Structure 1
Amino acid sequence: MSDGDVVLVAAARTPFGSFGGALREASVAALAAVAIRSTMERSGLKESDVDELVLGVNFPGSDRSIARQAALRAGLPPEGVSYTVDRACCSSLAALALASRGVRSGDTDVVLAGGAENLSAVPFFLDGLRWGHRLGDVRMADQLVIACPHTGVPRAIQASDEAALHGVGRSEQDGWALRSQQRCSEAVARGLFDEEITPVRSPEGTPRPY
């Protein structure tokens, strides 16, 4: 292997939880820390070996510096570098690309990279109330009603317009979605995800293996 080559040494992820399910109280940083610790154990690396943590997060909620929190929770040295990346749905892939770029440029040798999210933990927002509200209704904004932050157009409408533009009909979309769910269920039943998943203990104390 020559200088600048990039290799993936180990990987781990937490289970997929249902919306509002057993993991709804878990913070994004806490879930990320579980995956980080598991990856470190699988890799055989020491915490001091890690030069950088890059974490893609699309919905930080009311929190901030998610990567920094996750790094400290996972036991990485406090003097280490960590930063959070937001590139919407591509945040995790952007984090991996940045990690690869750092290794190839020679800036880093060992980087942890990935993504973290907990949509169940996204709060409602009361914009503009810091300075009071004299008259009229108070509106709570829900980040999960996803729309383009620049144009305000709902993502569902954007997706529909793109599908129409490229001639992708509803039946094709439904068929693809059904096939995806069937393949996922089959993979779970066959244990194909067992190796990559690290269990998370819910606040109620019940292990959640998937």
Structure 2
Amino acid sequence: LQFVVSYCLRGANSACFDLLLRGLLNRTSVPREVVDYIVYGTVIQEVKTSNVAREAALGAGFSDKTPAHTVTMACISSNQAMTTGVGMIAAGQCDVVVAGGVELMSDVPIRHSRKMRKTMLTLNRAKTLGQKLSLLSKIRPDYFAPELPAVAEFSTSETMGHSADRLAAAFAVSRLEQDEYALRSHTLAKKAQDEGLLLDVVPFKVPGKDTVTKDNGIRPSSMEQMGKLKPAFVKPYGTVTAANSSFLTDGASAVLLMSEEKALAMGYKPKAYLRDFVYVSQDPKDQLLLGPTYATPKVLEKAGLTMADIDVFEFHEAFAGQILANLKAMDSDWFAQNYMGRKSKVGAPPLEKFNTWGGSLSLGHPFAATGCRLVMTAAHRLKKEGGQYGLVAACAAGGSSFPARLCHARVVSVAL
């Protein structure tokens, strides 16, 4: 596994699609013609690039004979891209797959109103000038009101932030605890960056601005400053704020997946092995962000391991309250027995092994790109810390989740 990630400044264009593929090839020296397939994930589709994996591949100079497709599974879209690639390799269909994810939160598609869309489609079918003028004369000022992208769950009409606030309240996670955890994330990310551990960034020239050479959302603050912020979702008494929530950013990520035989034949030493993974889904109303709690014991059982066997944990930090609620749920026999049908708890990860290079709260959350970052951060940590097993987990919109197990030159596990 090799990994490249780029966090672009707001305003960056789609050039970071193929930039990451070029960066991956440059860092690995893998010839383009060796790649059998490309799978990319994205959440907010751009109509002009409905299959962004294919367009990025062509833009990066891959052969037009190299197939590529795009997947979407909310915030675990690049996880789905990776496991799709793993499946292709396991089935003997491919030896080398590039997987990743991309999101441009600074340039999301914004639609015209439904009335305007209907009028424009009808106008396209008008045959005479008179018919066109007649349709245009019916346009009213309210037709020009845009439909802004929804951040709410389709099935519940509730924003994820509102759900995170309810989840924190349900598990008695205080505002103070959330702010303390968020500060921890930024502090650890700054330390990792200063120590040269976050080296996977491909420099990106933002049109009209400077070149981005490192993650630019890391901002260690103070408890006093964070405490001044007002609730962002549940007002006036909520506990989720801008400071203890992950921020949205542009970003792209890519990993190189190979069968062991192919990697060794080409002279590569595998950085990590992706051994086990599962996907789970829960009630999107009350358990939207509890996926890691449900997924982690399943992937551990599949691997024949316990929490004590895991050396490195990398969990997606959508919200500080979400992380802390999951840790409490995982450490609760009552929750395991009443909600999960288990006899006992799986146990909470020890914080000294948990997201020690920061996380989404400090590095940002470019929806579809985050999954690859989690997996490769775990792989890097396993190598540096001399660990054997890593576990990655992430929640996603719709109540989905992914856990996986990784191994440094042996195994890695992922929970989704």
Q: How does 1:46-85 map to 2 (within 5 A)?
A: 46-63=31-48, 64-85=50-71
* Aligned-pair CA distance for 1:135: 5.3
For the 8 Å contact 1:62–1:122, the answer to whether it is kept is no
* Aligned-pair CA distance for 1:202: 2.1
Tell whether 2:132 aligns with 1:140.
Answer: no
| Structure 1 residue runs of 4 or more that deviate by more than 6 Å after TM superposition | none
For the 8 Å contact 1:61–1:121, the answer to whether it is kept is no
1:173 corresponds in structure 2 to: 178
Measure the CA separation in 1 of the matches of 2:179 and 2:32. Answer: 45
Tell whether 2:105 aligns with 1:100.
Answer: no
1:5 corresponds in structure 2 to: none
Measure the CA separation in 2 of the matches of 1:205 and 1:177. Answer: 29
Measure the CA separation in 1 of the matches of 2:186 and 2:8. Answer: 15
* Aligned-pair CA distance for 1:200: 1.2
Measure the CA separation in 2 of the matches of 1:172 and 1:53. Answer: 41
Give TM-score, length-normalised by structure 1: 0.83
Task: Identify which of 155, 162, 185 aligns with 2:167.
Answer: 162
Structure 2: unaligned runs, 5 residues or longer? 120-137, 215-416
Tell whether 2:200 aligns with 1:209.
Answer: no
* Aligned-pair CA distance for 1:87: 0.6
Measure the CA separation in 1 of the matches of 2:65 and 2:170. Answer: 50
* Aligned-pair CA distance for 1:136: 7.0
* Aligned-pair CA distance for 1:167: 3.3
* Aligned-pair CA distance for 1:185: 1.8
Change (3 A) 1:159 1:40: same
Give TM-score, length-normalised by structure 2: 0.44
CA-to-aligned-CA distance 1:42-89 (integer Å, 9 cap, x gap): 222211111111111112244421111111111111121111111111
CA RMSD of aligned residues (A): 2.0
CA-to-aligned-CA distance 1:73-114 (integer Å, 9 cap, x gap): 111111211111111111111111111111111111100011
1:13 corresponds in structure 2 to: 5
* Aligned-pair CA distance for 1:205: 6.6
For the 8 Å contact 1:85–1:91, the answer to whether it is kept is yes
1:191 corresponds in structure 2 to: 196
Measure the CA separation in 2 of the matches of 1:197 and 1:130. Answer: 40
2:75 corresponds in structure 1 to: 89
Question: 1:171 is paired with a residue of what secondary structure?
Answer: helix
* Aligned-pair CA distance for 1:134: 5.2
| Amino acid across the alignment from 1:130 | R
Tell whether 2:106 aligns with 1:120.
Answer: yes
Bigger radius of gyration, 1 or 2? 2
Measure the CA separation in 1 of the matches of 2:188 and 2:175. Answer: 20
Change (3 A) 1:142 1:178: farther
| Amino acid across the alignment from 1:198 | V
Question: 1:204 is paired with a residue of what secondary structure?
Answer: coil
* Aligned-pair CA distance for 1:166: 3.2
* Aligned-pair CA distance for 1:150: 2.6
CA-to-aligned-CA distance 1:147-173 (integer Å, 9 cap, x gap): 112332222122222223333332222
Structure with greater proportional strand content: 2
| Amino acid across the alignment from 2:118 | W
Question: 1:112 is paired with a residue of what secondary structure?
Answer: strand
For the 8 Å contact 1:53–1:111, the answer to whether it is kept is yes
| Amino acid across the alignment from 2:169 | A
Deviates more, 1:36-45 or 1:126-135: 126-135
Work out the percentage of aligned pairs sharing the same amino acid. Answer: 28
Structure 1: unaligned runs, 5 residues or longer? 1-7
Tell whether 2:122 aligns with 1:130.
Answer: no
Structure with greater proportional helix content: 2
